[in-house]
Structure 1
């Protein structure tokens, strides 16, 4: 029987396989496919589609490591928990802190992006006002329970998937072979750089593991959800990329901050531009919703170990959600949205999230052989991919990430001095 304290901080296991896949897809299908494909096209030409597949494979290795760990340790916090249990408190805290930094900074950028896209559809207020309203509404949706947030997420994901499939089927007849020539004008180096850029378009699968404490039969559901999510994302992204290249060519894609809208403008299919813009809007909403879900659960896990103030481990008596973490997450995202994107933090976050997944794979390697569902090759390949991409980043980005991590350890020391007495 659970003691009263454990009961007060326990979450409800209500997420099914469908819900978990929805959370994963909502976290993945966002700015990556709608924005980063243009940047990747500029550094690799048509061969960025190979970079996309390489990035998807590395994400799959990392995802399988996450799934293997979550099946044995189905608790909120994901890699934060695995690092603590299998490596050391320093590794665990590093993973949790880097997750918070990267996801909070990304959430502010995504909120701004949603306002810009939705304003094109419904110019009823300024893009900033639309962004702020979206943050408030999604924070509120999270507050009233994980099941309601999961249902809202499924609706959002459905709109996004339909819009992308509509683009693929509309554009397929207009694909021209000559747009794929020359295929790799920048060689292997360009493909490798595009893979590093596109890797971040896949990283949302970890949100499933972060919510493991609220998933029904996590030892079965999480591995299945991760595999379904990543395979779906790879197939969908490859189809969208192939159609985009074939319709407008990579030079036009590289010259745009919204390449899929340029593709839509080149097609005569009824309503295609509006549908793609709507899909971009719902994609941003889905990512933002999943960010609030994941960040608040990470705050819950870190509060349990005094890596953040223990007040964050409290769970709402009626809705069984970490309501204080949700509330603070919403406030921080509102502040970042008002201030605009912090270029320094956003760039550093690219390094910190790669270290986060490196720790995931290290923890999977430390698991007993009896717990290693996929063997040792998967985490070895995942770790090698993460480290290769992290060292390929510019030195100032790496130093910024290290600086943010050291600042986190300073804050952790302060919290432990206060709360460990």
Structure 2
């Protein structure tokens, strides 16, 4: 019996928008406060470090996706280049980390859009609605991503313009302020800001649904990364310029506060709507990406094989999508995820570490980028992981070990 496969329906623009929908999410509205708290104005250096590490990871993902145009992202690449255990470790890290991220995005959307007391019901309804969108085909996902990304970019343009119009915070950008966070604080801000760029993985996980993937996926990953980087630089400078490092660190909604400093009374609700839309875009792309990795792992029997079914009409991995949605709904209903962000980060960094090692091993015609980029990406993943709270690292190690134990038991029973 042939392995189930997906249909290639997405073009370059579709893939770029799905990646942007994942990258330009709720983080662009909220991440500046924690980053400024860690490094002050030095978050600009942290942003540069995060961008360098992310670019190494992005080019590794692009190089691997061109050679292996299939669903599953680094799970599939790790299996092909390094062996099944490497692939499983990457796939499991991605699934557990990004499932937590899905729940966080749903709760973030509800925090902006729901009346007080209704946050969890609205978050639950949102996950259910976006699962239905994904169910009716990946082209629906791409169309929704376009609408959301355009709306978010327009909102950010308004917010940045208003912030630039506000009076400058005195002395926020000097040589001294750039170093005020110290080495550890700057690296911690880089670790927080890194995940602004992690959405390009969603493009790679759709490798079986993109037309001409060897050519389009590398281009889509690099284009989405460069657009997102330009957006984050503009927002970082605008927020710090309006609020200063102390004001940014103290704010739970830095862009909204920076825009409000302009005196434009109508800006705050606009930014809030944009933040809600950004959360929707990120959640939509995350559900699609996690379900594709789950589908790929099930197809290789690393997860229950029943999840490797493709819907006969809509050509999506519908059982994998339902399983992911069920896990996200459970988290949204019962878990406070504020402490789970570091856990999610651990899983994603593990995923990209495997991607860099796999790309490092490629030779001949498969190589598209210098080896140095894979070295930078891999070392960067390890360094940024070391900046995470020890509780997050410990939880990540335990859950990854549980997944490895599950696979070992399954292989022993199958022998």
Match of 2:374 in 1: 379
CA contact 2:133–2:140 (8 Å) conserved in 1: yes
Quick check: 1:361 aligned with 2:361?
Answer: no
1:416 shift after superposition: 4.2
- Partners in 2 of 1:201 and 1:95 — Cα distance? 19
Unmatched 5+ residue regions in structure 2? none
Report the RMSD for the aligned CA atoms in angstroms. Answer: 1.8
TM-score computed with the length of structure 2 as normaliser: 0.95
- Partners in 1 of 2:167 and 2:381 — Cα distance? 34
Match of 2:135 in 1: 143
Unmatched 5+ residue regions in structure 1? none
Question: Could you say if the C-alpha distance between residues 191 and 315 of structure 1 is closer, same or farther in structure 2, counting changes exceeding 3 Å?
Answer: same
Quick check: 1:61 aligned with 2:56?
Answer: yes
Q: How does 1:14-413 map to 2 (within 5 A)?
A: 14-119=9-114, 123=115, 126-176=118-168, 178-181=170-173, 183-184=177-178, 185-269=180-264, 271-342=266-337, 345-413=340-408
**Matched position secondary structure for 2:208:** helix
- Partners in 2 of 1:38 and 1:261 — Cα distance? 12
- Partners in 1 of 2:113 and 2:371 — Cα distance? 45
TM-score computed with the length of structure 1 as normaliser: 0.94
- Partners in 1 of 2:200 and 2:324 — Cα distance? 20
1:98 shift after superposition: 0.3
CA contact 2:291–2:321 (8 Å) conserved in 1: yes
- Pairs aligned (count): 412
Question: Could you say if the C-alpha distance between residues 189 and 344 of structure 1 is closer, same or farther in structure 2, counting changes exceeding 3 Å?
Answer: closer
1:370 shift after superposition: 2.3
1:388 shift after superposition: 1.6
- Partners in 1 of 2:215 and 2:201 — Cα distance? 16
CA contact 2:60–2:359 (8 Å) conserved in 1: yes
Partner deviation per Cα, 1:170-217 (whole Å, 9 max, x = no partner)? 222325162414522223333222111111221111110011110111
- Partners in 1 of 2:336 and 2:87 — Cα distance? 28
CA contact 1:132–1:334 (8 Å) conserved in 2: yes
Question: Could you say if the C-alpha distance between residues 341 and 155 of structure 1 is closer, same or farther in structure 2, counting changes exceeding 3 Å?
Answer: same
1:414 shift after superposition: 4.2
CA contact 1:179–1:247 (8 Å) conserved in 2: no
1:342 shift after superposition: 4.3
Partner deviation per Cα, 1:25-72 (whole Å, 9 max, x = no partner)? 111112321111111111111121121122012101100110000001
CA contact 2:342–2:389 (8 Å) conserved in 1: no
